[in-house]
A and B are shown apart, each in its own frame.
Chain A
Amino acid sequence: MGFIGVVGGSVLGTIEETLLIYPVLLFLVPILNGVGGNLGAVLGARVSSAIHTGKIEPIFTDEELRENILVMMGMGFFVFFVFGIGMAGANFLLDFGVTSFQIFVIIIGAGFITILSITLITAAVSLWSYHKGLDPDNIVIPVETTLCDFIGIISLAFMVWLVIM
């Protein structure tokens, strides 16, 4: 997992030039990772418990599982939407050197990609570990947080490349 972390960092290294010109982008890294990672952790903990208690059938088409995923996605999208508007507003006052529209699109884009992939991955890892005969409680959260840091950075790099470069 340490290795995945360093690989994630080297993606950050490839957009280093841009990040150093616009420090506000560095500012976004811990937020993407923190919100995404914890959202996945809550989903992972809920799904693992529900599989153990039999509330969720360990298949992807389970109604309860789908509801859990959708609620978490909805909350994540909402948080990044509000945060995007807030940062666009803050940009008027503080001027981070990018346009408010750019920062809004970067946050929404990177946030949505991160949330979408992390919720699906968390659910998939929970089901997979259960089918492998492993206890999802021991597997899901460490796997999910590490992957989230990786995905958060890649989606940020992607949005920066798309919007600024």
Chain B
Amino acid sequence: MDKTEVIKETLPLLFLLVLGGALAGSVLASMERVLEMIPGLIIIVPAVIDMRGNISTTLGSRLGSAFHLGLLHQGLTSDVGKENIKGSLALSLFTSALFPIFLWILSLFMPFEVTYEIVGTIFLISIFTGVSAALILIFLTFSIVAFSMKLNIDPDNISGPILTTAGDVFTLLIMFGYANFFAWVVL
């Protein structure tokens, strides 16, 4: 194994990820007030950003393969593009609706309590965040593929880390916005 090559290609990426994580972390740290107002919201945060990462990296990987197969020349409007957009949105909507339900089920076994009002608020926050973040990340994924086509880079090498890092930042920012809004409207 060529150690220097792995280290040269991976180590700078890891430091960039620390920076990206720091950005996402600052958003999360500045959410402390609304996290306090909606107890239970912090419990779905890892699940939401994790699912966002899973959905967008698989989209990135599929678009990367489609790109290599030459199926993506018309960009967003190609059949492959449309199918992938629909699929990603449906997955986002479905998983976002599941998290508050998991939360409620868990609250029956774990040492914390949530009221129906809180679960309802978290349901709204989760769904709106999921769909909005999905739209932004779908657009970002297509941009990354288009950008790599222009610059002759293999999208497979860059889409994963960019999407997970940008996904965390956007998702948390969007969640922060909706959480403040729904906390103000409902509670």
Query: Is B a genuine binding partner of A?
Result: yes
A residues neighboring B (CB under 8 Å) = 1-3, 5-10, 12-14, 16, 19-20, 23-24, 26-35, 37-39, 41-42, 46, 64, 67-68, 71, 75-76, 78-79, 82-83, 141-142, 145-146, 149-150, 153
Cβ of B83 within 8 Å of any chain A Cβ, yes or no, is no
Q: Is B24 an interface residue when CB atoms closer than 8 A count as contact?
A: yes
Whether B164 pairs with A38 at a CB distance below 8 angstroms is: yes
Q: Does the CB pair B46–A23 fall under 8 Å?
A: no
* A78 and B99 alpha carbons, distance in the complex (Å): 35
Once A and B bind, how many residue pairs between them come within 8 Å at the CB atom?
A: 158
The tally of residues in B whose CB lies under 8 Å from a CB in A reads 55
Beta-carbon contacts of B15-38 to A below 8 Å, as 1s and 0s?
101101110111011111001100
B35-74 CB mask vs A (1 if < 8 Å, else 0) is 1100110111111111101100110000000000000000
Q: Is B125 at the interface (CB under 8 A from chain A)?
A: no
A67 to B10, CA, bound (A): 15
Given contacts A5-B50, A33-B49, A35-B18, 18 further A-B contacts (CB under 8 A): A5-B44, A6-B103, A8-B46, A19-B42, A30-B20, A30-B168, A31-B24, A33-B46, A33-B50, A34-B165, A35-B17, A35-B21, A37-B53, A39-B14, A67-B1, A71-B6, A71-B7, A76-B14
Contact between B35 and A2 (Cβ–Cβ < 8 Å)? no
A150–B43 CA distance with the chains assembled, in angstroms: 12
A100→B15 CA distance, assembly (Å):
21
| A13 and B40 contact, CB distance less than 8 A | yes
How far does the alpha carbon of A39 sit from the alpha carbon of B48 in the complex, in Å? 21
Q: In the complex, are the beta carbons of B50 and A146 less than 8 A apart? A: yes
What is the distance, in angstroms, from A67's C-beta to the closest C-beta of chain B?
Answer: 5
Stretch at the interface among B105-113, B135-143, B144-152, B176-184: B105-113
Q: Is A31 within 8 A of B54, CB to CB?
A: no
A29–B54 touching, CB < 8 Å: no
